[in-house]
Amino acid sequence: MTIIGEISVRPEEFSAAVAWVAKWVTAKPVVPIQAGIAIEAGPNGLTLTAYGENATARAQVGAEFSSAIGTSVVSGRLLAALAGTFGKREPVVITADGAAVRMVVGKWTGQLPAMPEQDWPTLASSATEVGRCVGDDLAAAVERVGVARGTDPKAGSVFMLMHLGLGGEGLELGCTDRYRVAMTSIPFEYAGNLPFDQVTPFAEDMVEAAGAFAGPDPITVGADPGVMSLTGPRRQVVLRLGTTSDGTPWPVEVLRGYITTAMNQPAEVEVMPDEIAMPLKRAGITGGKSGLARIQIADGALTIGAAEDDGAAGDESISVEYTGEAGHGYLNARYFGDAFTSAPGKAVRLKFGTGDQISKPVVAYCDTDPHWRYLTMPVRKP
């Protein structure tokens, strides 16, 4: 049913909601309706909905007053472009007929052609609740492990997924792209019997979604066969779950084993992220196509240089408390740098091997968060 009546909403809240759901609009849809955003008016305000191949996103907007009811569908691209111009002062007044959705904002009046609402599909609602967590905890954890997600579909589907482990003391999250692993866990209030011990949404979608739930409010996590959902006070996303190409579970036990082994290495040093970030970035820039950084550890100093530079002109040393056996090796500068940009503390500890060629993984952790681990594989110089 097309929207009947009139609804008025705050422009800033409306624009933010449109911008978020527009991220999930299908860019080049096979079916035209997939390019739309549904505007649903009801007694509780306005609900905006968009969907793509892997996700359905909904955002609620509180109405200052509402006498409208019904749903209209308009172009997501056009609505997002317009909503970004509405400012913060004048309310957005929305009415509709069968052919168009009319908007009035201050002195401006415009309309968007309506798409066939009968073509709008019935979309999945929230999945069965498995538990709750704080929005800030979830958003931070997804960001920290998401840096290690794979982005190349040709590498294998397992590297495109994010692991959410259920049933432990908290909610465990992890990602890997073959060359690094990031894992952490957050407090989680379980709702009862669990249908699964893990769910694996596509990591890219999870990273895109989780930031919208940042804040002190509780987030309900749901899971059903094939889908999971995140539901907050004003946002909801239903994500399609992915599977590994051979149907096996995400290899959490194997990756936990790698991290445990790396944590048992005897050599350890503490580094401040703001001291190492720029040296690593410069090493990656000047290190040629490989993007490798040459890492040397010796008494009292951690030295970083470009892998392609045989001299020491570009070397930068950081003072550290270390008196163990010297070592050197090569690491991907960007991957290693992500350990420090995603770290949950102001000081990062590194566990590593020593010797003429560091061949074992380097693992980062923080005293302020006993659950976060970031493991990076060393690389042999080309």
In a domain, 2, yes or no: no
Say if residue 79's pLDDT is above 70. yes
Structure tokens belonging to residue 66:
């509402």
pLDDT the model gives residue 21: 96
Pair 137, 207 in one domain:
yes
Domain closes at, from 189, 220, 250 = 250
In angstroms, the CA 1 to CA 69 distance is: 8
Instruction: Report the number of distinct structural domains present in the chain.
Output: 3
User: Which of 97-106, 157-166, 299-308 bottoms out in mean pLDDT, i.e. has the lowest?
Assistant: 299-308
In a domain, 198, yes or no: yes
Pair 225, 323 in one domain:
no
* Residues of the domain holding 272: 258-376
If you average pLDDT over residues 137-156, what whole number do you get? 93
Pair 269, 240 in one domain:
no
Strand ranges, E, within 321-368: 327-332, 348-352, 362-366
Pair 277, 356 in one domain:
yes
pLDDT tier, 278 (very low <50, low <70, confident <90, very high otherwise): very high
Residue 184: how many other CB atoms lie within 10 Å: 23
Domain closes at, from 250, 282, 306 = 250
pLDDT the model gives residue 275: 94
Q: Are 262 and 375 in contact (CB under 8 A)?
A: yes
Q: Positive or negative, the Cα torsion across 188, 193, 196, 200?
A: negative
Say if residue 65's pLDDT is above 80. no
Pair 292, 311 in one domain:
yes
Pair 282, 169 in one domain:
no
pLDDT the model gives residue 1: 63
Domain closes at, from 90, 119, 148 = 119
In a domain, 124, yes or no: no
In a domain, 381, yes or no: no
Pair 174, 272 in one domain:
no
User: Which of 172-186, 202-216, 277-291 bottoms out in mean pLDDT, i.e. has the lowest?
Assistant: 277-291
Pair 115, 136 in one domain:
no
Place of tokens 């997600």: 149
Place of tokens 């060629």: 357
Pair 308, 368 in one domain:
yes
More confident residue, 308 or 256: 256
In a domain, 96, yes or no: yes
Pair 92, 139 in one domain:
no
Q: Which letter does DSSP use for residue 116 in this model?
A: -
pLDDT the model gives residue 3: 78
| pLDDT tens, position by position, 299-310 | 899 999 987 655
In a domain, 166, yes or no: yes
pLDDT the model gives residue 27: 83
Say if residue 68's pLDDT is above 80. no
Average pLDDT, the chain: 91
In angstroms, the CA 42 to CA 261 distance is: 56
CATH code for the domain in which residue 74 is found: 3.10.150.10
Q: Are 326 and 298 in contact (CB under 8 A)?
A: yes
In angstroms, the CA 240 to CA 150 distance is: 17
Q: Are 297 and 267 in contact (CB under 8 A)?
A: yes
If you average pLDDT over residues 176-204, what whole number do you get? 94
Pair 26, 109 in one domain:
yes
Pair 243, 195 in one domain:
yes
CA 59 to chain centre: 18
